Structure 1
Amino acid sequence: MTENTEVVVIGGGYAGVMAANRLTQRDDVTVTLINPRPTFVERIRLHQVVGGSHDAVVDYREILGEGVRLVVDTVTRIDAAERSVMLATGGTVGYDYLIYAVGSGSADPCVPGAAEFAYPIAGLEEAQRLRPIVDAAPATAAVTVVGAGPTGIETAAELAELGRAVTLVCGGVLGPYLHPRGRRSVAKRLAELGVNVLDGPDAKVTAVTRDAVRLGDGRTLPSEVTIWTAGFGVPDLAARSGLSTDALGRLLTDETLTSVDDARIVAAGDSAAPSNLPLRMSCQAAGPLGAHAADTVLSRIAGERPATLTIGFAGQCISLGRRLGIFQFADKEDTAKGYYLGGRSGAKLKEFICKGTVKQLADEGRKPGSYRLHKLFKEGKRQELLRAERDEASATAERAA
């Protein structure tokens, strides 16, 4: 009689759903997905929740494979020695293998007043909480968006297109990922929407009050609604469970995404730090990482050696309101190139990617193992860097001996 293998996946985001669905390739694997809410969140649409153009949720029945058991609960601790996880509602769930895909959220702001008076939107509940506040604010109310990454830019554009008076405080450069050509295009569109963009070294928020934002150069900006999009953090579940993490709290793994502490624990998505060289937090990385994590577990079940990580990027897409957008092309190492797709074509491509990402999950649920994007790329600079680090460490050890 074939022995059954129990796999628990913590986190039902892009990486977790991909991993859970892919694991159902084997009939002798039982998959349990634990997530704190009963619906899947399209995090790349949370700015639309704030603007009222989308609810950013998908029923798990539309994307989860039939063989995946969904448990709506929160994991409070991982007991690696006992191979079990503790739930907030009480009780435990045992596992043979665990995939850690808890994702990311808002970073704790260290700026005085930000935690009390600014509204983060990195999570669904945060975005839902902000929407009625924006709706209730007078049409002429000053709205300040802090942080000029994709979420900050998209939120500023979404609200400005609705006629809101928006100031975007960059805390440095507008769209740090973007090539200068793409950045100029984004700046032009924001100007057309009436967004007041404050960038440069002095455009850093030093304090937030109930009705104002103070900058590093001493300026005080009136702000009836302050939205905080600067930085991301990860849940501290791994650290609280005694597992090794990087400085941000991501689970440290090797290049197969296996925990450096425990061969039965594999990580995926924003909460993974393979070789302490984590990838950019994005759904673009989450899907391939989720697939690779599942493949690592399946290889171990089959008694095979797991493959090492190879991953590539295509670029970054940003909505600039509902009608226009930009896709900033990049090389597979995730460095922006000098060309981009803008305007209506950029917006259509962004929407295609949003829908396509969910479709990929659903397709994997219907036909486990069909996803192949994580296998398209060959070794690149990441592997060269890791080899160089190993060679340097070996040389240092030899000199010490």
Structure 2
Amino acid sequence: MQQHRIVVLGAGYTGAIAAGRLARRLRREDVAITLVNAEPDFVERVRMHQLATGQELTPRPFGEMFAGTGVALRLAQVTGVDVERRTVSVTDANGAEELAYDTLLYALGSGWNSQGVPGTAEHAHEIAGRPGALRLRERLARLEAGQPVVVVGGGLTGLEAATEIAEARPDLDVALAARGGLGDWLSAKGRRHLRKVFGELGITAYEHAAVTAVEADHVTTADSTVIPAAVTVWTTGFAVHPIAKATTLEVTGTGQIVVDRTMRSVSHPDVYAIGDAAMVTGPGDKPLRMSCASGVPTAWQAADAVAARLTGGKVPNVPVRYFNQCISLGRRQGLIQYVTADDRAVRAALTGRLAAVYKELVCKGAAWSVANPTLGLPVRPRRVVRQPARAARAARPAQAVSAVKSQA
């Protein structure tokens, strides 16, 4: 009996967790799970601001993580997906190859988003991945005392980057340029604490200052303010990997794959999308923000849905909701903003050293869940239920229609 071929693209938080969860739920005799990733080690994306300031992160080799699980790691760059032929094109040191799949989990995630602002590609640094963080690390190390660093973007990544740099290099002149007010989405308590930490670290906040151009030694805002910058760090959001948009998958204008409540593509039922790559709606039908907090539950949902459909079990449908936003403000300060299910701030917030410890535990917990992908599931692997090939082909259009209806 031929094994059902499951290919998982991308081994960030979502892809690695989904692969491990599938390995736990399905029998090795029935499925062949291949995890495709360009790097041999897991990247803790939520710690890239730490890496950029010279801190050493714990190595997490995939070879050790998935040893004995049945998950086959394929170190290669994904160059294309043909959802009609059900193949993935990859390239490694030995050249190009095609991988065939029966079920595809697309978890290629996102990278930095220049927002089309002139000069960003030439002059700005990004910390959306390890290569960018290491380049920034090298550049910061060469800066002399008193030189200006500007972080552009007032979201979670920007706040963490600015405070981490200012704490690690108090000799630098660190500033943050935000399109809106500083932490304007936070509660009153959260905003007060944020301003307090910025003051203690000597960070200058340029509020309501949309950056319209980046040069080698400064940035310019919409009101023509010139902010000196020996180094510019660009943190204005994320853009999804472009491969999905080049396929016949139904995608949004930004390239996210449109999925139903079980993370299944509404146009191609053999494909599931998770994490930043998927257009997922939460409470109030609001799109989930690109984040680890959003991505991990989508990985659980997709893996459990795939396993249930293959084994004839009941497909789970667990709503994704938020509980808090965890922000590190250097190594000694933090901010935990409690939120509603649809991610709106409430009055309650945890601040200070205790919040920093809380945030660190969250980061360690996320890494642990990746490093131990097959633990914590008290279930026995179930046997895959086979469909005759003719019946499976006949079912595909009906499945696609059903998926579209469930999304509506």
Q: TM-score range by the shorter chain?
A: 0.7 to 0.9
Name the counterpart of 1:26: 26
Q: Secondary structure at the match of 2:227?
A: strand
Alignment partners' CA distance in 1, 2:372 and 2:231:
40
Name the counterpart of 1:86: 89
Alignment partners' CA distance in 2, 1:116 and 1:95:
39
Alpha-carbon offset, residue 318 of structure 1: 0.9
Alignment partners' CA distance in 2, 1:369 and 1:212:
55
Q: TM-score, normalised by structure 1?
A: 0.88
Q: Secondary structure at the match of 2:150?
A: strand
Alignment partners' CA distance in 2, 1:252 and 1:46:
29
8 Å contact kept, 2:286–2:342: no
8 Å contact kept, 2:126–2:235: yes
Partner of residue 195 from structure 2, selected from 187, 194, 198: 187
Name the counterpart of 1:12: 11
Matches within 5 A, 1:220-299: 220-274=226-280, 278-299=287-308
Alignment partners' CA distance in 2, 1:26 and 1:305:
15
Partner of residue 321 from structure 1, selected from 321, 325, 330: 330
Alpha-carbon offset, residue 55 of structure 1: 3.2
Alpha-carbon offset, residue 363 of structure 1: 3.4
Q: Does 1:169 align with 2:169?
A: no
Alignment partners' CA distance in 2, 1:339 and 1:129:
38
What count of residue pairs does the alignment treat as equivalent? 370
- Worse overlay, 275-284 or 232-241: 275-284
C-alpha change, 1:131 and 1:346, in structure 2 (3 Å) is same
Q: Does 1:159 align with 2:161?
A: no
Q: Does 1:55 align with 2:67?
A: no
Q: Percent identity?
A: 39
C-alpha change, 1:313 and 1:33, in structure 2 (3 Å) is same
Q: Does 1:64 align with 2:66?
A: yes
Alignment partners' CA distance in 1, 2:50 and 2:243:
29
Gaps spanning 5+ residues in structure 2: where?
380-404
8 Å contact kept, 1:144–1:227: yes
8 Å contact kept, 2:107–2:275: yes
Alpha-carbon offset, residue 94 of structure 1: 0.9
8 Å contact kept, 1:175–1:183: yes
Gaps spanning 5+ residues in structure 1: where?
371-389, 394-401
Q: What letter matches 1:308 in structure 2?
A: N
Q: Secondary structure at the match of 1:236?
A: coil
Q: TM-score, normalised by structure 2?
A: 0.86
Name the counterpart of 1:361: 370
Name the counterpart of 2:386: none
Q: Alpha-carbon deviations, 1:250-306, whole Å to 9, x = none?
A: 111111111111111011111111369531111112111111111111122123453
8 Å contact kept, 1:149–1:176: no
C-alpha change, 1:182 and 1:56, in structure 2 (3 Å) is farther
**After TM superposition, where is structure 1 displaced by more than 4 Å over at least 4 residues in a row?**
367-370
Q: Does 1:310 align with 2:298?
A: no
Q: Secondary structure at the match of 1:40?
A: coil
Alpha-carbon offset, residue 327 of structure 1: 0.8
Backbone CA RMSD of aligned residues: 2.0
8 Å contact kept, 1:21–1:368: no
C-alpha change, 1:56 and 1:250, in structure 2 (3 Å) is farther
Alignment partners' CA distance in 2, 1:267 and 1:359:
23
Name the counterpart of 2:343: 334
